[in-house]
Structure 1
């Protein structure tokens, strides 16, 4: 295979964009592991006191992630995320206002491989979320596993991330009488195993926990479709029933994280690597679906709202797909 190298004469702006994406990919794939190793290595050096003091702080601060976390505006406004945004580029498209006197459960689709759109739009201010939705504070849900990594937990909390369990999301919706939006990549890690260019299959048909959460707390549901999310990486073929897919599914059940074998381009060449392709991502936020609060909703009530949510998500996709170069004969399918 002939390797296509990047031109030497690239503008500084593009180089900075690539560096921003490189650190983001590293943060997503290896920063937690690096922090864990650093924590234990420090214990056997003259800097052991750092890990000991952090361990005490960690013990005292254990419940913070599940109680709203600890946001860091300094991080969310960092210039690094503007370069990340412009690499693809990523845009946040508003279709309706969100009333800051109400709370929201935002369903993000599709998950993609590294949820680039969800992170950039809801964990940073690079795409203008505070200006588009004044008075609304978004919290993106992430696997609880990552909040057990020393140092790393503080980093992700600074971006407005909280554990993806019902208690953490419900805490925010109960505590704040308005202006809170919990953002859930509904398909989760399993959906990433089907994330490849041209894929419009969503793991949603039997995912109803986010709907029940919204009903129990009287939070409006907001469907979001991120066009281009699945175009960032290629993935090794893993059809259902194949040996690779069975191994991936077993690992996902055992560890809670999926391991898609994805690839795209490199830093200095365009032929292979783990850096995403420069493909545009357009994240369209739909209109809120009003929800009547019921602390003990029946299965029928949850099913009815879930069906309505899928209909509104499909309508959002159909309304905007041709604008973002999706063929007219392509439609969402739910599994």
Structure 2
């Protein structure tokens, strides 16, 4: 790509150190400290090892959690994840069995639940939620960890704003959702998640946006980046839901190059990430003929069945881990060529693959294979 070629921070050479931050073990009082003191306190909690990396399966111990904490998380998830299913079933009942008054009541309820105000990214209410007991309990429920190599996290702090690219989607990207409070409050980077427009209007599910999210619309993301806020996005989107596979990790981003184009046009660095556990937090069903996927893409919404514990819309208590890769510097190119877009897109996939392979053994995923489709 000549003078416009992007570069990685050190390319994908063998790391000299590996690091792990177990969010679930962080003391509550840390969140009351000023940010600089908090960073120092967090740094003391980081587990590190040399170039040999963490031993296989050494980071697989689930977090301790009380039954009251676990119940609170399950209740919150039942509201957020059960909301779409409940409103869908209630809507069918109203349409086919309800009176005109009951149909009108359903429409009013659905409208209120879809549009009532929520905290915006960066707001005081959003900040309180990030540091809330519920968030800390969710970290325990999912034994949430962040892994990285060398000084990759410090490089991210120095390079804001950037775009985090963190597949796979799964039924719900819990690793990415929990990364919003983790990156803001533990790592000290201003950060918002990007979600599909329809999520902001989906009863129940939209409450998860209260952590601080922007829409995945290009203009909305550019506004966030323009005010110095980092943005995280799932490159596989709705398509990723329909690639959930219990034997392999399938990431539907091989031909989805819009993010590379956006990064080049804005000269925004990219951080490759892999979200371990997103694909096993729920079980799901969709038809093998691709009918539900086609409908979902057409309507920009997800239509499929999902379930977790006790066949309810409560996620399984699985371990969720976010692995952060090396930042990729991207030059600003107002009109990037197809070659430039392809090269950056391929580099993204290569770095995501590298990040996956470097960290999968220590969390017990050594038998898993990542495949881009």
**What TM-score range do you get, normalising by the shorter chain?**
0.7 to 0.9
Q: Which residue of 2 aligns with 1:299?
A: 338
* Among 210, 213, 221, the residue aligned to 1:161: 213
* Among 178, 194, 200, the residue aligned to 1:141: 194
Deviation string, structure 1 residues 239-260 (Cα, Å, up to 9, x no partner)? 4xx3xxx331232023212223
Does the 8 A contact of 1:113 with 1:260 survive in 2?
Answer: no
**CA distance 1:92–1:21, shift in 2 (3 Å):** farther
* Among 71, 96, 106, the residue aligned to 2:164: 106
Unaligned runs of 5+ in 1: 1-10, 46-50, 267-271
User: Equivalent residue of 2:157, what SS?
Assistant: coil
* Among 300, 306, 320, the residue aligned to 1:262: 306
Structure 1 Cα separation of the partners of residues 193 and 353 of structure 2: 22
Q: Which residue of 2 aligns with 1:119?
A: 177
Q: How many residues align?
A: 288
**CA distance 1:327–1:310, shift in 2 (3 Å):** same
Does the 8 A contact of 2:170 with 2:244 survive in 1?
Answer: yes
* Among 72, 76, 100, the residue aligned to 1:19: 72
TM-score, normalised via structure 1 length: 0.75
**CA distance 1:291–1:87, shift in 2 (3 Å):** same
Does the 8 A contact of 1:234 with 1:263 survive in 2?
Answer: yes
The CA RMSD over aligned residues, in Å, is 3.4
Deviation string, structure 1 residues 213-265 (Cα, Å, up to 9, x no partner)? 111111111111112221222233744xx3xxx33123202321222322232
Structure 1 Cα separation of the partners of residues 211 and 204 of structure 2: 13
Structure 2 Cα separation of the partners of residues 145 and 199 of structure 1: 28
Structure 2 Cα separation of the partners of residues 309 and 44 of structure 1: 45
Structure 2 Cα separation of the partners of residues 148 and 282 of structure 1: 28
Deviation string, structure 1 residues 142-193 (Cα, Å, up to 9, x no partner)? 111233469986x5553111111111001122333xxx21100111122112
**CA distance 1:80–1:32, shift in 2 (3 Å):** farther
Does the 8 A contact of 2:65 with 2:140 survive in 1?
Answer: no
Q: Which residue of 2 aligns with 1:194?
A: 243
Q: Which residue of 1 aligns with 2:371?
A: 333
Deviation string, structure 1 residues 12-44 (Cα, Å, up to 9, x no partner)? 81342233133134224417987xx9xx85998
Moved more, 316-325 or 301-310: 316-325
User: Equivalent residue of 1:322, what SS?
Assistant: coil
1:209 is the counterpart of 2:244: no
1:279 is the counterpart of 2:279: no
Structure 1 Cα separation of the partners of residues 190 and 85 of structure 2: 25
**CA distance 1:43–1:87, shift in 2 (3 Å):** closer
Structure 2 Cα separation of the partners of residues 214 and 284 of structure 1: 21
**CA distance 1:291–1:156, shift in 2 (3 Å):** same
TM-score, normalised via structure 2 length: 0.68
Q: Which residue of 2 aligns with 1:88?
A: 142
Q: Which residue of 1 aligns with 2:297?
A: 253
Structure 2 Cα separation of the partners of residues 291 and 226 of structure 1: 23
Unaligned runs of 5+ in 2: 1-63, 92-103
Q: Which residue of 1 aligns with 2:25?
A: none
**CA distance 1:248–1:237, shift in 2 (3 Å):** closer
**CA distance 1:115–1:151, shift in 2 (3 Å):** closer
